[in-house]
Amino acid sequence: MDVIKGHEFCFRTKKPPYHPSDILKFTHIYIFHNKNNWKYVVNVEEYKHDVFIMKFFKQNHADSKFRYSILTNEYDARKIIQTCVNIGLHVLQQFPKASFGFLGMPTMKELKREDKIFNTKRYRVYEKYATFFFKEENFEHNFDINTSAYFMLNKKQLEDNKHIKKTILQMFTNHFIISDFFRELLDIEVN
Amino acid sequence: MKTSDKTSMFFGILAFLGLIALVKKRSSKDNTNYSTNNKNHKNPGTINKKPNLTPSKDSMPMKNFDFKVKTPSELEKGRSNAYPYLA
């Protein structure tokens, strides 16, 4: 089967965190342009234990609180997500023991729901890409439908340390808590 | 004074008043006032409070991440469902 090609991307820079952090080491910044020549920014956050969290947004939404929630209606989602997958695979070449995670942020419509972050539209789509491109031979797939979170643990890490999964999940639970991450969105009433 | 001068003066004053009205309208839209010494236009005399950034208990999901491992059959099913998205 021929898979859609993503857009061409380029690595921009690698930044240390703005605030001192115990777990966040660097943010790798990639950029690409979509079919309408709009610029997209992909932030790949490098955490301890070779855990990478990918975030992307359209550059002109960079200052918005809803930058991860807005739908652009440009009908270019497949190529954009494919580009992000390609960036993930590029990171995997550099860090063969990398594990990946993402959150499917709620759309503006979903923010109006009572259960804003349960099984979001983005989560359902990203999950398909994750299961397709990151094979079970190399990754252990973990999911949490209640928070629309997905985590792929590299099995090379599991071979080295059997307790790594517990350590990483503990790290997430302690530092990367939902209340912090969704703080801005959960209290906002969208009109 | 010439008639043209009067006309330009009239339009000048009109534009100035319009500008003031526009500025007032815009400032009244954003009634979130985070400083404590400014006047609150809606409730004069009251001191504005800073917004509480901590989410309330009702709005915040109490449970944190609770990951489950995907079984091989679930992965296979997910992979086959992914084809229409990727072709």
Of the listed ranges A73-77, A175-179, B36-40, the least confidently predicted one is B36-40
Report the gap between the CA of B20 and the closest CA in chain A (Å).
29
Q: What is the DSSP letter of A114?
A: S
Chain B residues touching residue A125 (CB < 8 angstroms) = 85
pLDDT tens track for A148-173: 899 999 999 989 888 999 898 888 77
- What is the per-residue DSSP string for B8-73? HHHHHHHHHHHHHHHHHHHHHH------SSSPPSSSTTPPPPPP--SPPTTTS-S-----EEPPHH
Reading the block at residue A86, the tokens are: 């390609």
pLDDT of residue B55: 45
- pLDDT tens digits along B23-53: 887 766 555 444 444 444 555 544 444 444 4
Residues of A in contact with B83 (CB under 8 A): 1
In chain A, the residue whose alpha carbon lies closest to the alpha carbon of B54 is A183
Among candidates B60, B65, B86 on the partner chain, residue whose Cβ is nearest the Cβ of A144: B65
Chain B: residues touching A (Cβ < 8 Å): 53, 55-56, 59-61, 63-70, 72, 75, 78-79, 81-83, 85-87
3-class state of residue A153 by DSSP: strand
Residue-level pLDDT at A108 = 87
Q: What is the pTM of this model?
A: 0.73
* Position B62 confidence tier, pLDDT thresholds 50, 70, 90: very low
Output A96 or B59, whichever has higher pLDDT.
Answer: A96
Determine the pLDDT at residue A178.
Answer: 64
Nearest-CB residue to B68 (from A128, A142, A186):
A142
